[in-house]
Amino acid sequence: MKDLLFLAADLWLMATTWIYGAKLWRNYRNQLLTLEYFVVAVSSTNFLLWSLLSGKKSSPMYYFAYDLDAFSRCFGITLLLVIGLLAVTHGYKPPTAVKAGATVLAFAGAVIFGPMHSDDLPRDFPHLALATFYVVGNLLTTCFLLYFATRLWRAGAQRLAALTAVVSLAATYVALTYDFFYHFIPGANGEADLNRYHTWLYTDDSSRTIFYTIALTVWGFQAITYYYGYKTMRAHHDATDVASARTVEVVS
């Protein structure tokens, strides 16, 4: 049952990121947001294929998954996301140099930090420093996303604003748990934990199947929520520009 839920969650993330990444490009030509959506889409597709075809840590897909994960966690779901959303919060149109620099940083993060992955809690300095970097970046991005939620609220989209805040905080919980607190998930430390719990719902396994199911589900909701948040703010921004232009015409 847990495996089926995991596969369903991965398919959910694949569908949301491929579909809404395409919508971002087709409707708004937002290069940085589209790039991050498609990287997550490729990552979730790779993860599903690895799970179905191999499931072995010796597989190239296993290492590729960590490279894609590093892309998103270092500068993708952080820097690329923030710059992309600034287009509708502040009308910011990043010059080519900024877009190229942010993209290069994200790919460099994938190449440099991807091979530094650890399957255990970060205990030595390099892994602890990297995990701290990831979490700090996530927390700073969450602050911006909560600000984004307030802008949606003021634009009249209260439900979407609340959902944006909820999924952003849920994603922060996932990020914190991923690196520092997964030993609080029942079963994450192995068979010893399994003996303390008696229902599959509350018992994870050594592969953290339940945790990843939750994470994939949350990330899928992020993809949808941020797209509609972007769409709403873009419409609000355009309506404000039209109203301002009409006011100027009347005054003139």
Task: Work out the mean pLDDT of the chain and round it to a whole number.
Answer: 85
Token code pair at residue 235: 């419409």
98: left (phi over 0), alpha (psi -120 to 50) or beta: alpha
**2-251 has which fold?**
Rhopdopsin 7-helix transmembrane proteins (1.20.1070)
Distance, in Å, from the CA atom of 127 to the CA atom of 112, rounded to the nearest integer, reads: 13
Strand ranges, E, within the chain: none
Token code pair at residue 129: 């420093």
Token code pair at residue 24: 């971002």
- Tell how far CA 182 is from the center of its chain: 18
- The residue ranges of every structural domain in the chain are 2-251
Residue pair 2/202 in contact by the 8 Å Cβ criterion: no
Q: 45-49, 140-144, 162-166, 201-205 — which is least confidently predicted? A: 201-205
What is the pLDDT averaged over residues 77-93?
95
What was the pLDDT predicted at 196? Answer: 43
Distance, in Å, from the CA atom of 213 to the CA atom of 17, rounded to the nearest integer, reads: 16
Q: Count other Cβ atoms within 10 Å, centred on residue 63.
A: 14
pLDDT band at 209 (very low <50, low <70, confident <90, very high): confident
Helix (H) or strand (E) holding 148: helix 125-154
Token code pair at residue 30: 């937002």
Q: What is the pLDDT of residues 118-131, one digit of tens each?
A: 666 556 778 888 88
